[in-house]
A and B are shown apart, each in its own frame.
Chain A
């Protein structure tokens, strides 16, 4: 079935360290992979996305990599800051947008 697995479910890092969140998807026909950041009680906000014809995309401290053969993609946040603390969701577009279960990132000052 259509499924996105996301790991880890929680992640705690020290300010300035890097954070990596990984997702795998089930449908090899998926062609669009967005990442959303959600602060407590607020709406999910797109932070970066990647399409299947690209292997890597970077935007300042955030990067996403995609391995189509292995059907997995990852979010990398470098030089983490306390304001990066939030829940991060990966998603994959199959017949519809399927979200992972989320990763709660905590950045300790």
Chain B
């Protein structure tokens, strides 16, 4: 157990819908990262927050957004869902920003039908 929690574990929804994935980092970690893992792709970095502020952005679609709250938990919002958004979404946390070990949560498996 890494200490990073993610909810829900599984999510099944329809195209066009909107969902929210939630992540709680390890106690004391200030950085939260979101990754997408599709079947045919590796881990794609989406976005990073550090102490409530956006720190780095990866290949995140405009239909996706995220935020980190004062209690340091983070939410990833996915809207206008498409079949291709079906994937495992991982959250990771680290103490600081770059160069620190990232601890991954168990992931949320999103299925868009």
Contacts and interface: CB of A to CB of B under 8 A. Distances in A.
A99 B42 contact: yes
A48 B41 CA distance: 22
A95 B44 CA distance: 14
A96 B42 CA distance: 15
Main secondary structure, interface of B, reads loop
B11 to A, nearest CB: 15
Contact of A89 (B43, B105, B107): B43
Contacts of B101: 34, 46, 49
Interface stretch (A37-45, A57-65, A68-76): A37-45
B99 A96 contact: no
25 contacts: A31-B99, A32-B100, A34-B101, A43-B2, A43-B90, A43-B105, A44-B43, A45-B2, A45-B104, A46-B101, A46-B103, A49-B101, A91-B43, A93-B99, A95-B98, A96-B98, A97-B33, A98-B45, A99-B42, A99-B43, A99-B44, A99-B45, A100-B42, A101-B41, A101-B42
Task: For the complex of A and B, list the 5 residue pairs with the smallest distance between their C-beta atoms, beginning with the closest.
Answer: A43-B104, A99-B43, A32-B99, A96-B56, A101-B42
